[in-house]
Structure 1
Amino acid sequence: MSADMTSNDQRPIRRPVRWHILVFMLPAFLVYTAVMIIPLGSTLWLSFFNQVDGQKVFVGLQNFKTLFGEERWSAGFWNALFNNMIFFVIHMLVQNPIGVALAALLSLPKLRFSAFYRTAIFLPTLLSFVIVGFIWKLILSPLWGVAPTLLDLVYLKSLFAPWLGRPGSALIAVSLISVWQYVGIPMMLIYAALLNIPDEVIEAAEMDGITGWSQFWKIKLPLILPSIGIISILTFVGNFNAFDLIYTVQGALAGPDGSTDILGTLLYRTFFGFQLQLGDRSMGATIATVMFLIILAGVSFYLFAIQRRMRRYQF
């Protein structure tokens, strides 16, 4: 009798299959598949075809050879890619450090009106890119803009120039407009990471005499490195998918002389056409595929190289 009871007690307990989880996930999966996976797969597949005598013909990698080999396509592509890299670097070197610095300042316990400052800095991220682009075009306009007047108030009017109309400064000006709009995102993410640092760690640092900015550099900054890594990869993905702000400020041609042309605007003109340029769906899909591969390479590098080192450093 006791042997039978012992054998029954040692039987593995089978956990019930939780089918309700699949039921709840199914609607989101179907929506994501319809909105993201199917269009992405169709775009990648379309890049291997071309229109020949009005019919779709499989051409393999010929579209990619055309994009990188023919001067008419390669010149525009490499110019857009170079501008896109500058656009990304400006965000990495200006937006993210400013976001970290603002978060560090706003996390100071003795700072008054910190809630107001957080709201004011984060508010531009909630505005439409159309509104932001239109407002900044008015501000920087040399004819009716307020920028010359504001600079004149501080005796710096001589520094004013039509920055959006010069090839050498247009991309920097548009990048700084984007920085102004989206600096609140890294600020809030870093601010949340700073608030999650245990009080015991801060108290131990203060007992050792580590306070002020020394405490931030030696204690807080290493603890928020994972958050900074996430912000960096989000900046990378967002910048190489950018289109809306440059289209609003500089138009589809991304002037002057293509100085603000990035991969997003190049894709738009190629796929849909603009003015006298006819749309080419196959070459547009090819540019979109290259953009996808660039973003995939950057994300993979972060996940398999940088994030692993951060985990080793943290734990």
Structure 2
Amino acid sequence: MAGRKAFRWHIAVFLAPAVLVYTAIMIIPLFGTLNLSLYNVQGQNRVFVGLANFATLFGDPRWSASFWNALGNNCWFFVIHMLVQNPIGVLLAAILSSPRLRMAAFYRTAIFIPTILSFVIVGFVWKLILSPIWGIAPGMLDAVGLKSLYGPWLGKPDTALITLALVSVWQFVGIPMMLIYAALLSIPDDVIEAAEMDGLTGWAQFWKIKLPLILPSIGIISILTFVGNFNAFDLIYVSQGALAGPNFSTDILGTFLYRTFFGFQLQLGDPHMGAAIATAMFGIILVGVCIYLFAIQTRLRRYQF
């Protein structure tokens, strides 16, 4: 027909490689994990058990205590990032976006560099720094008269998770900083000029004009923080091992999944229960993302240009 638009084959051709790769490494393993969580081994046979693995995970005291402990630690890990990392990232972006600041490019680079470092390097180096035997943290605190505040933070159940969360904040604060910095630069000049004509400058201009305009970017950073923290594993594993000591005080869903799926020391691996934990993690992340998309993002759209 004359009025019918031709199918744009070039779009499919360009999208095909990315779709195939994403399907191979993400979609197929996801459905494989979901399928694995519905089976179990009885004797020598692999049988379909439906949701029995989830009933065991949530209802059996031997499993539920570890799961809820890991989930609680994960939530606290996320809260620390939300209350410390993201506000600091916004503050740094606001300072570095000032045209009067000298060497701003150097500061941005220096703050962002830890983001590209390996988890293994970061975990090992900070474990050395905080060591009460050969670490430099006691000497640094002593130099400023605060040595009395020092303690074996990674060895105490009350402080180990907070310490590792702050180490993670140090490593990744550059990401929200750069995203907010880009959002601040995207604000039209005429909006800034109009605010200056009304007498709004400095921090008053940031709080009343710029901050409302970058709320969508802050929302995106928040959901990225949520997904990243509930997928966390590397830093805890490198610093505290698979047992996430002391006394499982740093155990999060990632380390709990690792021990369950692959086994550790005298604990035998159980791929089916491990798949159930992975499915529960996927469900938690999915619910959080849906809440953001349908309850928060729709309200933030009115601030976008």
Max Rg structure: 1
One-letter code aligned to 1:80: A
- The alignment status of 1:123 with 2:113, answered yes or no, reads yes
Aligned to 1:163: 153
1:248-267 matched pairs, under 5 angstroms: 248-267=238-257
Q: Where does structure 2 lack aligned partners over 5 or more consecutive residues?
A: none
**Contact 2:216/2:303 (8 A) holds in 1:** no
One-letter code aligned to 2:64: S
Q: Give 1:16 deviation, angstroms.
A: 2.0
RMSD of aligned alpha carbons: 1.0
Q: Give 1:12 deviation, angstroms.
A: 5.4
Identity over aligned pairs, percent: 76
Aligned to 1:180: 170
**Contact 2:260/2:269 (8 A) holds in 1:** yes
2: CA distance, partners of 1:279 / 1:139:
34
Q: Give 1:44 deviation, angstroms.
A: 0.6
Q: Indicate which of 97, 112, 128 corresponds to 1:107.
A: 97
2: CA distance, partners of 1:222 / 1:25:
35
1:1-315 matched pairs, under 5 angstroms: 13-314=3-304
| Runs of 4+ displaced beyond 4 Å | none
1: CA distance, partners of 2:196 / 2:15:
47
One-letter code aligned to 1:90: I
1: CA distance, partners of 2:263 / 2:60:
19
Q: Give 1:15 deviation, angstroms.
A: 2.5
TM-score (norm 2): 0.98
Q: Give 1:313 deviation, angstroms.
A: 4.9
Q: Give 1:237 deviation, angstroms.
A: 0.2
One-letter code aligned to 1:230: I
1: CA distance, partners of 2:9 / 2:149:
66
Tell me the SS of whatever aligns to 1:256: coil
**Contact 2:157/2:247 (8 A) holds in 1:** yes
How many residue pairs match? The answer is 305
2: CA distance, partners of 1:61 / 1:81:
20
Q: Give 1:23 deviation, angstroms.
A: 1.7
1: CA distance, partners of 2:179 / 2:303:
21
